[in-house]
Each structure stands twice: as structure tokens, then as C-alpha cells.
Amino acid sequence: MKTVLGHADRAALLPRLGVNGWDYESDPTAITKTFRFSNFREAFAWMTQAAFWAEKMDHHPEWSNVYGEVTVRLTTHSAGGVTELDVDLAQRLDAI
């Protein structure tokens, strides 16, 4: 089972996500980012691709959508915090 990132791993991995707009400081148990698109169609098309990656990785986002905005919160429920699975999924979402 994945374990929650310790201080050294957080310091090594999370600032790189921060450069891409992920907030890893407001909530120590999760990383969050709002993705912005020009309309609902584009937002939902992105969510569809993200959903396929989530299924492939068996790791799923908490998210909400309002028109062209998708707010994503990543945490590993089974571990109770941020693990390397969340870092991997965040990078995958940034690459879509």
C-alpha cells in the first residue's frame, strides 16, 4: 500500500507541482488545482480524458465542474494523505 509522503519527499516532489499551479500548502492532506477552459464542452472533454487515466491508474480525483472550470483535489483515501499516486496523477492531468 502507498504511504503518505514524508517531509523530505514533499519537499522534493511538491514544489515542482506548485510551478504548474498545484496548491500543496493550504491542506496538508491533499493537492488541489483549478483547470480553466473556455467553455463547458472543453472542460468536459478534458474530464473525459482525465477519467480514462484515473481508471487506468485506479486512482481517482475528487473534482467539481462549473462551466469551464474544473477544480481537482487529489488525495489517497486509503493512506489518508498525499502519496506518490497523487503526484503521478497530477502530472498526468497536467499533460492532457
Ligand X SMILES: C[C@H](O)[C@H](O)[C@H]1CNC2=NC(N)=NC(=O)C2=N1
Contact set with ligand X (CB under 6 A): 58-60, 76-78
CB-nearer residue toward ligand X: 43 or 86: 86
CB-nearer residue toward ligand X: 39 or 57: 57
Distance of closest approach, residue 39 Cβ to ligand X, in angstroms = 27
CB-nearer residue toward ligand X: 8 or 58: 58
Distance of closest approach, residue 78 Cβ to ligand X, in angstroms = 4
Inter-helix orientation angle 84-95/7-19, to 10°: 10
Distance of closest approach, residue 74 Cβ to ligand X, in angstroms = 7
CB-nearer residue toward ligand X: 10 or 59: 59
Inter-helix orientation angle 40-57/84-95, to 10°: 140
Q: Cα-atom radius of gyration of the chain, to the nearest Å? A: 13
Distance of closest approach, residue 61 Cβ to ligand X, in angstroms = 7
* Sequence letter at residue 26: S
Which string of DSSP letters, residue by residue, matches 33-72?
Answer: EEEE-SSHHHHHHHHHHHHHHHHHHT---EEEEETTEEEE
